Amino acid sequence: MLKKFIFHRPVSQESGERILEVTQEILADVDFIHRVGSDAMHLTLLSQKMLRCNKVPNSFNPNYTSFAFNRRVFASKDTEAWNSANITPIGAKGIFGALVIDMEKPEWLSRERTSARKVAGIRNDQVSFKNSDYSPHVTVGKFIGTEQDWDGFYECERRLQTAWTEIGAITLGPLRLDYGEQGWEFQPSLKSKVSAEE
* Three-state secondary structure string covering 147-182: HHHHHHHHHHHHHHHHHHHHHCCCCCCCCCCEEECC
Q: What is the pLDDT of residue 159?
A: 72
The torsion region of residue 96 among left (phi > 0), alpha (psi -120 to 50) and beta comes to: beta
Q: Which residues pair with 183 in a beta bridge?
A: 180
pTM of the model as a whole: 0.32
Q: What is the pLDDT of residue 193?
A: 32
Low pLDDT (below 50) residues in the chain: 1-11, 31-150, 169-198
Other beta carbons less than 10 A from residue 129's beta carbon: 17
Sign of torsion over alpha carbons 27, 115, 70, 108: positive
Cβ atoms of residues 52 and 31 within 8 Å: no
Q: What is the pLDDT of residue 27?
A: 58
H-type helices in 55-167, by residue range?
79-83, 107-110, 116-120, 150-167
